Chains A and B, each alone.
Chain A
Amino acid sequence: MTEDAEQLFPIEARALAESLEAGLLDLKSHPEDRALIDGVFRDLHTLKGSGAMFGHTRLAQFLHDFETAFEAVRDGRLRVSPALVELGLRACDHAMALLDGGSAEPGEVLLSALAALTLEPGAAQAAAQPDDLAAGTGVGDSLALGREAAAVPDQDGPPPWSLSVYLAGDTLTLGGRPLGVLDELRALGAQRLHPLLDRLPPLSELTPDRLYVGWRMELPGELSEEVIREAFLFHDEGLDLELERRAAGPAEAAAARGATAAADPEQPDAERRPKGSAGAMMRVPAERLDEMMDRVGELVIAEARLAELAARSGDTLLITVAEEIQRLATSMRETTMSIRMTPIGSISGRFRRLVHDLDATLGKPIDLVIEGQDTELDKTVIEMLADPLMHLIRNSADHGLETPEERRSMGKPDVGTIRMGARYSGAEVVITLADDGRGLDLGKLRAHAEKRGLIGPEDDLDDAEIRALILQPGFSTAQSVTELSGRGVGMDVVRRTIEQLRGTLEVESEPGHGTQISMRLPLTLAIIDGLLVEVAGERYTIPLAAVEHIIELPEDRAQETGHTRLLTIRDKLVPFLRLRQLLDSPGAPGPHQKVVVVTAGELRVGLTVDRIIGSSQTVIKQLSPLHAALKSFSGATVLGDGTVALILDVPQLVAFGQALDAVEAA
């Protein structure tokens, strides 16, 4: 056996254990799902088998009984119960401990609990809570049932739409994308999608590039007909579409509402499970990726220099080669970057496990809904986010959500919901964590902050400022320390981590309805697409992702002074900032200035520049500590001619401009 393979085993085993854990958690809500059962069995089997090969006999022996149990499940001799899932999860933990050289002892307890469960399937309830396991299980069937009953809120909307559609037969030949249409319909909330195959001709008459398949689906009743028809842009020619409102039976309507909450039951298994589980993956040390990114960065700079020299030489052969290299460098860069980009979903397994455990310890049923799992961030950023997010979830579960009794008395469903969402917004990613709990009690917050000496009784704070107090260092909710919030990081550490990532944090809360924490993070990447602009003979780079469009500054506006002004762009007032003034640039502006309209957070702002030079790949070099205090720049880059250009940090620059204006107005 090679040394390499031996080093690989623990990595692979950990991946298998993670995949096993995810599979078990999924099984909790889909106990009948064959693909999940097969997956869990396969993971157990592989983990046991490779463990034995690498001399982990204790691990292999321990897993043997679990494998047998899931074999029985697979063959239909045993049903998945919450108790079995719980035991499986604990077995997972124990397997990891064994890999780290931990004691075999706890395994005995698990195995006897498993034996009790498999020998007498009716005894599931008893086996779930033997004394040795009691340290925080409490997940019984009754609880799980109670949750299912409460999961579908009773509300009536307009009856759903029923849609049957066939696109024109020549759609594919003309480059139309039926899948795009379906994606759009899915985004609108389409469910129960069925293919319609009745127009499929006999094989002898089938033309491969014609489209014969149609689809039937249900769409939420709240949508207007126009919105639905908009999904068929460019498909109106030859379109065969039937759209009608359908009075659904109560059972069906309830099922439809239930399904929108989380995973679509008709979605194939592969899509429901988070990406990044084992499979055909290769694990690479992160430092090697960093190194690779550095090399690619240098390549991009060298390539830019080559392109410039080639252009200057006028030698067409050389230019062709330079262009070829540019193409290669671009795709190389994109590949490298995509390797570093990781979907948020890659760490969501930890959150689901945490909620599962919290659920048991706190005696509060909790539903964790994760949205935008595919949103990608740089790997380092994701890793740094994991702990703060765990802390926020723990906080929500511990302090935010009420007990089922309290919730019932307030007319809320027994099951509390924690919702984690991730989405792109301009050049940023916004991650939100919201609960539907009791919200922040501003009076108590204020009193607590006063007691801690963070503010005085005379300080005049508005609600937002009071809410922000929980982010202050020294504001520990020590008085309500529980087992959970006692450990881990505090809110101020959460804030510091976010700030380290050049992000911002916002707390919103409505008493009785819940609390939401929003984190805005830049897509901090080593290389970005940049728009190179010129102001007073100096060149600056604006991240292209932030650029919406570019317009000419009307000549009559060119000579005005002041930092922020308003400009009418397509009937909308857009504030604009004069970069020349913000950057303290010499000289007077020329007559033909351009306005680069950028998004900064939720804001659209124009930046006036003298000239647009073009867009190019931009390797971000961090500024030295000497310039770290200058927040208006997110870094610098080396241009093709060897000079350095600063990269503008658009949100910070906008804030700077507004601050300058405030100072002048005062």
Chain B
Amino acid sequence: MMPRAFRSAQPSREFRPAQDVVTLRLGGELLAIESGLVREVLEPGAITRVPNAPAFAAGLLNVRGTVVPLTDLRIPLRMPRCPRDADTRILVLDLKLAGAASVVGILAEKVHEVTQISSAAIEDVPDVGARWPAQFVRAIGRKDTQYFIIPDLDAIFAAFLAVPLGAALQIA
């Protein structure tokens, strides 16, 4: 998978320069999502619960007439969850699911800014990277003294779709 490619290309502890990201807070941590994927950021309106759906994809929302699934990255990343508040936002992303272009929402506890960060493979930052499931983290980003988790969205969604009802992610 892609992240492994730049492990060999990048020498240890060296951060790849500047990429545009949207930074957000989730599970008390800082995450960065490639800004090219982000279609828009919404305040959470009415979210419809999907009965019997796994916690990772437990809701639906209406984005300009399109029904979009709402996902919670805290489940695969094994992060603590807290209730929604005034800062809660939804990032609407353009992703490929099972080969088809899809629109997916992800929950954010707070959205910070669009910025540029440099990144390195997770193995190269052991003190920061060890806490999260390595297969779901593409890289660790850094800006000044702050570190960001760059989740591997392809791997997360592929793992979810590979198991009926996302049982793996729920148990994980």
Could you tell me which A residues sit within 8 Å of B by CB distance? 298, 301, 538, 582-585, 621, 623-627, 629-630, 632-633, 636-638, 641-646
Contacts and interface: CB of A to CB of B under 8 A. Distances in A.
A629 to B, nearest CB: 5
Interface in B23-69: 45-46, 48-53, 57, 60-62, 65-69
Given A301-B65, A638-B62, A625 B161 contact: yes
Contacts of B53: 627, 630
Contacts of A298: 65
**5 tightest A-B CB contacts, nearest first:** A583-B51, A643-B46, A621-B67, A644-B48, A626-B57
Contacts of A646: 48, 50-51, 60
A308 B77 CA distance: 41
Contact of B57 (A538, A627, A632, A644): A627
Contacts of B160: 626
B46 A624 contact: no
Interface stretch (B98-106, B122-130, B142-150): B98-106
24 contacts: A298-B65, A538-B49, A583-B51, A621-B67, A623-B67, A624-B67, A624-B69, A625-B97, A625-B98, A625-B161, A626-B57, A627-B69, A629-B164, A630-B53, A632-B52, A636-B60, A637-B67, A638-B67, A642-B45, A643-B62, A644-B60, A644-B61, A646-B48, A646-B50
Interface of B: 45-46, 48-53, 57, 60-62, 65-69, 71, 97-98, 100, 102, 104, 157, 160-161, 164-166
Which interface residue of B51, B68, B102, B104 has the most chain A CB atoms within 10 A? Answer: B51
A630 B52 contact: yes
Which interface residue of A621, A626, A627, A645 has the most chain B CB atoms within 10 A? Answer: A626
A621 B66 contact: yes
Contacts of A301: 65
A644 B46 contact: yes
Contacts of A627: 50, 53, 57, 60, 69
Contacts of B71: 626
Contacts of A630: 50, 52-53, 165
A585 B52 CA distance: 10
A583 B62 contact: no
B52 A645 contact: no
A623 B53 CA distance: 12
Contacts of A623: 67, 69
Contacts of A629: 164-165
Contacts of B98: 625
Contacts of B65: 298, 301, 638
A644 B67 contact: yes
A627 B161 CA distance: 9
Given A301-B65, A625-B100, A645 B161 contact: no
Which interface residue of B49, B62, B67, B164 has the most chain A CB atoms within 10 A? Answer: B67
B104 A626 contact: yes
Contacts of B46: 641-644
B69 A642 contact: no
B169 to A, nearest CB: 11
B61 to A, nearest CB: 6
A621 B69 CA distance: 12
A633 B57 CA distance: 15
Contacts of A644: 46, 48, 60-62, 67
Contacts of A636: 48, 60, 67
Nearest to A535: B51
B58 to A, nearest CB: 10
B161 A626 contact: yes
Nearest to A632: B52
Contacts of B49: 538
A107 B61 CA distance: 62
Contacts of B60: 627, 636, 644, 646
Contacts of B67: 621, 623-624, 636-638, 644
Contacts of B161: 625-626
Nearest to A643: B46
A643 B48 contact: yes
A585 B104 CA distance: 24
A96 to B, nearest CB: 36
A641 B53 CA distance: 24
A637 B65 CA distance: 9
Nearest to A639: B62
A624 to B, nearest CB: 5
A526 to B, nearest CB: 13
A416 to B, nearest CB: 43
Contacts of B66: 621
A645 B100 contact: no
A626 B97 contact: yes
A585 B97 CA distance: 29
A406 B169 CA distance: 60
Which interface residue of B48, B57, B60, B97 has the most chain A CB atoms within 10 A? Answer: B60
Nearest to B164: A629
Nearest to A583: B51
A642 B66 CA distance: 10
Nearest to A301: B65
Contact of A626 (B45, B51, B52, B69): B69
Contacts of A643: 45-46, 48, 62
Contacts of A637: 67
A582 B166 CA distance: 19
Contacts of A582: 51
Contact of B52 (A538, A583, A625, A638): A583
Contacts of A645: 48
Which interface residue of A298, A638, A644 has the most chain B CB atoms within 10 A? Answer: A644
A413 to B, nearest CB: 50
A629 B163 CA distance: 10
Contact of B102 (A584, A585, A625, A632): A625
Contacts of B62: 638, 642-644
A644 B165 CA distance: 21
A624 B97 contact: yes
Contacts of A583: 51-52
B62 to A, nearest CB: 5
A643 B60 CA distance: 9
A625 B96 CA distance: 10
A641 B51 CA distance: 21
